[in-house]
Amino acid sequence: MARKPRPLSDTEVHDRLVAAAEALGDAPGETTRGNTAIATARRALVMLQLSLVKAMEESTDKLDGVRNQD
């Protein structure tokens, strides 16, 4: 039977966001579609990293720039 994974700490979440951004690298997409997708993913990951750090510093559960937070 599969075990339920333990929740990640905020630091672990941040580390995974950084790793995801690093995994994307900095190469552009070959097509406009691919380049748009990868560039948007990079920006989204950076925004989430910064929003998480800001929320941690302010001791709030709300991330700036993220909609529908429940």
For 31-62, the pLDDT digits (tens) are 999 999 999 999 999 999 999 999 999 999 99
* Residue-level pLDDT at 45: 97
Is residue 65's pLDDT more than 90? no
Dihedral sign from CA coordinates of 50, 54, 60, 64: negative
- Measure the CA–CA gap between 53 and 18, rounded to whole angstroms: 12
* Residue-level pLDDT at 64: 87
* Residue-level pLDDT at 7: 96
User: pLDDT tier at 25 (50, 70, 90 boundaries)?
Assistant: very high
Q: Which candidate, 56, 43, 48, places its Cα nearest to that of 11?
A: 56
Tens digit of each residue's pLDDT (9 = 90 or more) over 11-24 = 999 999 999 999 99
- Measure the CA–CA gap between 46 and 11, rounded to whole angstroms: 15
Neighbours of 61 (CB within 10 A): 7
